[in-house]
Structure 1
Amino acid sequence: MDDTDLSLSEAASGNQLVVSRICDTLREKIVSGTILPGSVINSVELARHFGTSRTPVREALLILSQDGLISITNYRRPKVAVVTVEAIRDLYGFREAMHAYMAAAIVAKASDEELLTLKQMATSLLRTAGADPMQHLLDIESYLGEELRLCRNEVVVGALNALKYKIRWFRRVGMPTREQFLILARDRLRAAEAYAERDAFLAEAVNRSMVRKGANFCEQSFQRAAKSWSSAE
């Protein structure tokens, strides 16, 4: 590789680092609610803030649109995607189908030791359901990540990983109350116990019920939050 090729390679690497920094920053602000749904994204200001041209900004926004966080349309400035009740129902409907399938897959493929660990994680989640909501969400995501690993289906893993930021965002936009966290934690432990008992039918039923409850809780919390956003405008 000559000096020209090396310079091009270094430039490309540096460009990708900038794209990654922009993606990480915007993802965190969108998912945390610092930037509200529907907010306009100013590409020029972003380029200035990160000390770069608009090309890495456009690349980052394209990645975020693929994550479902940014809406890009012709002749309009990019915006944070709009959250709607219908979007919540669509996402949770898909998740219900995936988690029902995962229940049977986990029962069939996971070892006794792995199922015991999953049950211990679910027990811990029940103990912390009334504690710090943000930390509890992170613990839930760790548990769900373990469930996803144990289902050992690359198609399901790929589908849910492609939606992971949108799922995370909707959980925070529609943050459950402490009482709702407790209800979901009890269901999650029931599902983990059904896994351990190798009862796929019960695990699937509990998972379906739990995701439906989660959808209802998310919808209720989102509607309350949307009213506060409207009042702040």
Structure 2
Amino acid sequence: MTTVDQPLGAVRERVLARLRQDIVTGSLLPGDRLVERELAEHFGVSRVPVREAVRALVGEGFVTFESARRAVVRRLTRTDVAELFELREALEVYAAGLAAQRCTPGDLAGLADLLDVAAAATRSGDAERITDANTRFHDRILSLAGNGLLSSVMEPVEGRLRWLTRQNAEWPQLLAEHQELYEAVASGDRERARAASLSHVRTNYRSTVRHLFGE
């Protein structure tokens, strides 16, 4: 049951974060059922925070109700993937252009450090570390764009974008694209950065579709 020294909201957030992570990393697969009683026992909490966490995951697009009492991890459709990548194309390309205009030498050094982390993870073949490093790289470019509204628009779908990133197993190619994107941003050329970002998003889309649907 929920412990008295931890507020219900904090318990809910802990369960939510763990379930979201399990979905993103593939510990929970599309079609897997989320059973309140089993999850409550697993986390050592009451069913209330589990129920609220599952509802939050529905809102985030990770889970769907097949019936009133049957919640399962969502199966990504071609439409889901296409729509998410259309959003990436619109927002990330714009962010890359702004980042090229606004970033400082210190900003670029931080971005280069993230590339080094991604390169080390790619050499090791650790999918979770690769996904984390690549997500942080994109998050940093979004931050360097210096547009708070842009960041707030991206926030509701960041988890699903991370989920999609995890589906792309062509890690060396992904690293090479990120290196090209870094160089384009570092050049200070807005249009070059936009072009590199657009190419990256579209290549990543094709790779993800191949992985998920075999085409």
TM beyond 0.5: yes
Counterpart position of 1:199: 189
Aligned to 1:46: 39
Question: Which of residues 85, 108, 112 in structure 2 aligns to 1:115?
Answer: 108
Pick the aligned partner of 2:136 from 142, 148, 155. Answer: 142
For the residues of structure 2 that align with 1:64 and 1:117, how far apart are their CA atoms?
32
Distance 1:124 1:86, change over 3 A: same
Q: Deviations over 1:190-209 (max 9, x none)?
A: 22222222111111011001
Stretches of structure 1 that go unaligned for 5 or more consecutive residues are 1-9, 225-233
Gaps of 5+ in 2: none
Shift of 1:163: 1.6
The reply to whether residue 215 of structure 1 matches residue 209 of structure 2 is no
Instruction: Name the residue aligned to 2:180.
Output: 190
Structure 1 79/200 Cα, relative in aligned 2: closer, same or farther at 3 Å? same
CA distance in 2, matches of 1:210, 1:84: 21
**1:39 aligned partner, one-letter code:** D
Q: Deviation digits for residues 2-40 of structure 1, max 9, x if unmatched?
A: xxxxxxxx9695212321232122122211212211222
* Equivalent residue letter for 1:209: S
Residues 219/49 of structure 1: CA separation in 2 closer, same or farther (3 Å cut): same
Aligned to 1:167: 161
CA distance in 2, matches of 1:26, 1:120: 29
- Superposed CA offset, 1:80-128 (max 9, x none): 1111222112111111111110022112222233134424543664565
Letter in 1 for 2:181: A
For the pair shown, the structure with the greater C-alpha radius of gyration is 1
Partner of 1:19 in structure 2?
12
Superposition CA RMSD, Å = 2.4
Whole-Å Cα distance in 2 between the matches of residues 128 and 30 of structure 1? 21
Asked if 1:104 is matched to 2:94, the reply is: no
Letter in 2 for 1:194: A
Runs of at least 4 residues of structure 1 off by over 3 A? 10-13, 48-53, 119-131
Aligned length: 211
**Is 1:28 paired with 2:28?**
no
Cα distance in 2 for partners of 1:17, 1:123 equals: 34
Normalised to the residue count of structure 2, the TM-score between the two structures is: 0.85
